[in-house]
Amino acid sequence: MAVLSSPRQRALRTAELAGLEVSAVDDDLAEWDYGAYEGLTTPQIREQRGDDWRVFRDGVAPGGPGQPPGEQLADVAARAGRALERVGPDLERGDVVLVAHGHLLRVLAAVWLEADPAAGAQLLLDTAAACVLDVEHDVPG
């Protein structure tokens, strides 16, 4: 079974704690780059913006000098799509495990379902939980 992980230490540690042997580290599984919002909570971002901000709807603010530029939803969806393409051959042989981060995995699931990546906002994936994506009668589900 192929096990791919985000390069972030918390994902690699989660794989280790789950007893999984990571076969590849995939940079496309890294968490969403939140730019200027990195490290802030949703209430803190909303306080700054003065509105009902949502990352899947409104995106992130670009980082300032010395900060990462941040990614928009389309960027994250493109990374998720590349990761899914890479595991395609492995999926033909059996199960694949992806160990990554909440928002990235929600976008990845939406891409898998051939839905608008913003639909990831409605997918609740619990921390350290097994979530299964499959295909039935050639339809991703």
Percent of the chain with pLDDT strictly greater than 70: 99
Indicate whether 63 pLDDT > 80.
Answer: no
DSSP-derived 3-state class of residue 53: coil
Q: Which residues of 82-110 are buried (b: 16+ CB within 10 A; e: fewer)?
A: ebbebbeebeeeeebbbbbbebbbbbbbb
Report the top-level CATH class of 2-31+74-140: alpha beta
Confidence category of residue 106, pLDDT binned at 50, 70, 90: very high
- pTM to 2 decimal places: 0.90
Confidence category of residue 128, pLDDT binned at 50, 70, 90: confident
Alpha-carbon torsion angle 7, 2, 76, 10, nearest 10:
-30
Domain limits of the chain? Answer: 2-31+74-140, 33-70
Indicate whether 58 pLDDT > 80.
Answer: yes
Terminus-to-terminus CA distance in the chain, angstroms?
Answer: 20
Please list the alpha-helical segments (H only) found in the chain: 9-17, 42-49, 55-58, 73-93, 102-112
How do strand 139-140 and strand 135-136 relate by DSSP bridges? antiparallel
